[in-house]
A = this chain, B = another copy of it.
Amino acid sequence: MENVISRRPFLKIAIGAGLAATFARAQEGKPAGKKVGWALVGLGSLSTNQIAPALQKTSHSRLAAVVTGTPEKGVKWREKYGLKESDVFDYENFENIANHPDVDVICIALPNSMHHEFTLRAAKIGKHVYCEKPMAVSSKECREMIDACDAAKVKLGIAYRCQFEPHHMEAMRLAKEKVFGELSHIDAGFGFKIGDPKQWRLRKNLAGGGALMDVGVYALQAARYLAGEEPETISAIETKTDPEKFAEVDETIQWQMKFPSGKTANLYTTYNLNGYNQFTAFAENGRFGIKRAFGYNGQNGWTSNPEIPLEFPATDHFQVQMDLFSKAIIDGTEWKVNGTDGLRDILACEAIYKSIAEGKPMEVEKA
């Protein structure tokens, strides 16, 4: 891994070449080579177990601040990560981050229904936004988030970590370059058996939806990036074996997608079964896929041709995605997994829920 010192010559070149406004803003007043500072909003298990530890392993990023509604958490995090008192904010004084000299990115790891509010607040104080998936609980919210970040000239990244995971990246290449010929059909799904019936994931007002919004979006997005186009028509049905536990959100959804080229996809998500966590791409001259595709680790790629393996060492998805986002800020380059990408998943989710509600296939609204 690169360290701060070794990055300097590169940064000099980048600066010499003239940087985009977003970079200039984020790096304003910073000596070349300083790491991009991340403020972590929401100190739940994702932040605690994945995001913060991953930040420690990055080359271009560092944890600069935290935002929490629980003062004791602030104390703990200060100790653990050597933060100052002035690095800890709460949801009320969030806007004070504007004056924090080292915070460049607001990383939103809150329940889904809060993504919209904090993206808008972050944009307003001129900070880049890195927002957990699903992007928001409605396409209307997504569009407002995109507009707010565009207006503030800050980047908006959606944390689809699989897009930076080497098995997935190679699978995208196999599809795009037609290594097995034209792709024709995709099977994909992601689910798990959810525990605690009191958690926020089962509350509609916090999660916006159930298995689909939480984990189904991984499979949905994989189908989109493998197909290399956007779904046109979606047909979906829902199954509920425990109507009490899943009174507010979906338990199991199956959906079918048709793409403009004629490609098709069968999808599945559930909160009631462990072990569906994979995709298979069926192409003209062969097949490829990833088992344990969407988890934090354990990706196991395969192809129908032993001479074209789909094998890579394990990576820390969080480390890679965050560091690449920091790098995009430093370099002033476009960020591909952006608000529009996140919006497209939400538009598909809306078509899925509408298809279930109306009992018929739905056209997917364009981003």
Interface residues of A (CB under 8 A from B): 184-185, 187, 189, 233, 235-237, 239-241, 252, 254, 256, 258, 262, 264, 266-268, 270, 272-276, 282-284, 286-287, 304, 359-361
Contacts and interface: CB of A to CB of B under 8 A. Distances in A.
Contact of A282 (B239, B254, B256, B275): B275
| Secondary structure call for the A interface | strand
Q: How many copies does the complex hold?
A: 2
3 tightest A-B CB contacts, nearest first: A241-B262, A266-B266, A184-B273
Given A235-B235, A273-B284, A275-B282, A187 B361 contact: no
B272 A184 contact: yes
A240 B361 CA distance: 16
Contacts of A361: 237, 359
A175 B66 CA distance: 49
Nearest to A282: B276
A254 B235 CA distance: 10
A256 B265 CA distance: 12
A166 B233 CA distance: 39
A262 B239 contact: yes
8 contacts: A185-B276, A187-B266, A237-B258, A239-B258, A254-B266, A256-B266, A273-B282, A275-B304
A254 B188 CA distance: 14
Task: Select the residue from A184, A258, A286 with max chain B CB neighbours within 10 A.
Answer: A184
B258 A264 contact: no
Contacts of A304: 275
Given A237-B258, A241-B262, A256-B254, A275 B286 contact: yes
